[in-house]
Amino acid sequence: MSRAPYDAVIIGSGQSGNPLAKAFADTGRKTALIEKADIGGTCVNWGCTPTKTMIASGRAAYLARRGANYGVNAGKNVNSDVLVDMERVRERKRDIVASFSGGNESRLLEAGVDVLKGEARFTGPKSLTVRMNDGGDKEVTSDLIFINVGERPSRPDLSGIDSIPPERVLDSTTIMELGSVPEHLIVLGGGYIGLEFGQLFRRFGSKITIIQRAERLIPREDPDVSKCMLDILEEDGTCVYLSSQPNSISRTKNEALPVSLSIKFTDGRTKTIEGSHLLLAAGRTPNTDTLNLTAAGVTTSPRGHVLVHDDLSTHVPGIFAIGDAKGGPAFTHISYDDFRIIRSNHIPSAMSPTARRLSTTKVSSSRRLTPYVIYTDPQVGHVGIHASDATTAPYQNRKVKTASMPAEYVARGLETDETRGMLKATVDADTGEILGFTAVCTEGGELMAVVQTAMMGGLKYWDLQEAVWAHPSWAESLNNLWASLE
Ligand SMILES: Cc1cc2nc3c(=O)[nH]c(=O)nc-3n(C[C@H](O)[C@H](O)[C@H](O)COP(=O)(O)OP(=O)(O)OC[C@H]3O[C@@H](n4cnc5c(N)ncnc54)[C@H](O)[C@@H]3O)c2cc1C
Ligand SMILES: NC(=O)c1ccc[n+]([C@@H]2O[C@H](COP(=O)([O-])OP(=O)(O)OC[C@H]3O[C@@H](n4cnc5c(N)ncnc54)[C@H](O)[C@@H]3O)[C@@H](O)[C@H]2O)c1
């Protein structure tokens, strides 16, 4: 067993681990990054990059089918459905992933990071053993260790699941490797992953049934936003069962539709659905269970997220957790912002002069505004609070009001025949402060970012109401949205 003392060790090549390793190495620290699978982690290999690449193919199929709405007919295929070449869709996805992942690895190596390909486990608060992928163990020690191990798809304990051919039980990673379009995809979970893949494969031509345990889809959103997305999915032919969850699963004798899923509703009703494939999209599990955290004295929540302070330190000196492994909003941009926090507090010399000017001496996660986008079509872009948060502290004594309007009121939506969706804002009616904003519309993420920028700059809602926006743009709707303040 070889030994190597490092100034900093990062476990996991996630969205904070990569830039952090590079920043330590760039400032002359001896740095190791340990990764058991692919460099770039979830976002690049099995998350944002491949899904958004495939979602672009889904939108092409959607628009091809709708050509006639715009007066554009596709020659002989006018009355026939579009043909989706899943092998070509997959190849396009693989090419983009390979280019992004390769770029990440070369940047680390150029910076002088020791990239150790293997699985890490703690042996003490300052030591790890790495089971190397090419054989053998390596012991690694450091006074600074960063846990950036992310999460993996949860596998619900479902009676009978082992009777189903394994290639018919999919998760968010394996579904992107399909070489043909499933006949009937049953989606377990009506959150981000369930909706993005459910709509995508509907557009590719699958029959889709979504089983959602909660009484609403995307239940972190306001009820009217959940309902808006439900209506859109149902209009496109997706079958959604709310307040329902699996009872058991068994294999049918039908080779094409081997999955028989029995579900029960909260009111006691039951139903059996037969499908070709099952997609498990019911949440993600932190990859902390194999780290032997007890050897280091690091504690976790009951779900397995590492407990951290606002500066991302654990209560063990020198050990930090960053990205999804620490719980909280699980997004790439939040993980990347965790890198900024660590950089400001531990390697200020790696910051540009501008970044240094903007950062306070002790940066923490408590002051961050969290934007996100669900990449359905229309997208759901959101920032700040939800209207339903306004009844609780610290908002309950403020004069909080909401404004909303359907996307079909927006000229840009009408002109492009993309009228499905809604816009919604939550404001303090006395001070004009914008507290939260949701855009369900084509490029809802970009429109949300316009309002996010206004919030960052402290603009009031009336500044947006009176602003000159280019016509015809989605942003122009920010002139009219406030008319409905209630
Ligand atoms: C299908 C899907 C789509 C998504 N789309 C979006 C999106 O559009 N926008 C968005 O913001 N977020 C999206 N996310 C979430 C986003 O991908 C994650 O929030 C982000 O990647 C988290 O990064 P991280 O830094 O926590 O670690 P990760 O990127 O998860 O990386 C952790 C790494 O640690 C490695 N690892 C784990 N254990 C060990 C060990 N013991 N030893 C060595 N290595 C180990 C893993 O192999 C992995 O590579 C999506 C996620 C999924 C699954
Ligand atoms: N566009 C994006 O930014 C994006 C895209 C994909 C994933 N992500 C991240 O990944 C995380 C995980 O996504 P996810 O969709 O797996 O989780 P999620 O928590 O968003 O949704 C899971 C859903 O499954 C339902 N559910 C749980 N157990 C169930 C059961 N037994 N039967 C039926 N329904 C059940 C829950 O009610 C929940 O609404 C997200 O929270 C998000 O942070 C982000």
pLDDT digits (tens, 9 = 90+) for 201-214: 999 999 999 999 99
Beta strands in 171-269 (DSSP E): 184-188, 207-211, 239-241, 244-251, 259-265
Determine if residue 222 is labeled as part of a ligand binding site.
Answer: no
Please name which of 195, 173, 174, 177 lies closest in space to residue 46, comparing C-alpha atoms.
Answer: 173
CA angle 176, 272, 168 (to 5 degrees): 25
Say what the pTM is.
Answer: 0.96
Which two three-digit tokens encode residue 423? 């816009």
- What's the CA gap between 96 and 53, in Å, rounded? 8
pLDDT tens digits in sequence order for the chain, 486 residues long: 445 599 999 999 999 999 999 999 999 999 999 999 999 999 999 999 999 999 999 999 999 999 999 998 876 554 457 899 999 999 999 999 999 988 889 999 999 999 999 999 999 999 999 999 999 999 999 999 999 999 999 999 999 999 999 999 999 999 999 999 999 999 999 999 999 999 999 999 999 999 999 999 999 999 999 999 999 999 999 999 999 999 999 999 999 999 999 999 999 999 999 999 999 999 999 999 999 999 999 999 999 999 999 999 999 999 999 999 999 999 999 999 999 999 999 997 888 877 776 765 557 677 689 999 999 999 999 999 999 999 888 898 999 999 999 999 999 999 999 999 999 999 999 999 999 999 999 999 999 999 999 999 999 999 999 999 999 999 999 999 999 896
Q: 245 alpha carbon to ligand 2 midpoint, in Å?
A: 14
In this structure, the chain runs to a length of 486
The class that CATH gives domain 372-484 is alpha beta
Mutate to test the pocket of ligand 1, among 9, 104, 149, 280 (most ligand atoms within 8 A of CB): 149
Using CB distances shorter than 6 Å, the residues near ligand 2 are 156, 188-194, 196, 211-214, 219, 245-246, 281-284, 330-331, 372-375
Ligand closest to the CA atom of residue 306: 1
CATH assignment, 2-46+92-153+285-358: 3.50.50.60
pLDDT at 78: 47
Number of other residues whose CB lies within 10 A of the CB of residue 114: 18
- What's the CA gap between 185 and 195, in Å, rounded? 12
- What's the CA gap between 154 and 310, in Å, rounded? 27
Residue intervals of the chain classified under CATH 3.30.390.30 are 372-484
For ligand 1, whether the C-beta of 19 sits within 6 Å is: no
- What's the CA gap between 247 and 245, in Å, rounded? 7
- What's the CA gap between 346 and 362, in Å, rounded? 9
Which two three-digit tokens encode residue 44? 């690049």
Q: Which of 192-198's residues contact partners 24+ apart within 8 Å by CB, and which partners? A: 192/218, 192/374, 193/153, 193/281, 194/279, 194/281, 194/282, 195/229, 195/233, 195/374, 195/376, 196/51, 196/55, 196/374, 196/375, 196/376, 197/51, 197/172, 197/279, 197/281, 198/233, 198/238, 198/279
Residue intervals of the chain classified under CATH 3.50.50.60 are 2-46+92-153+285-358, 161-282
For ligand 1, whether the C-beta of 13 sits within 6 Å is: yes
Which two three-digit tokens encode residue 69? 């709405």
pLDDT at 1: 46
Determine if residue 227 is labeled as part of a ligand binding site.
Answer: no
Topology of domain 161-282, CATH: FAD/NAD(P)-binding domain (3.50.50)
DSSP state of 409: G
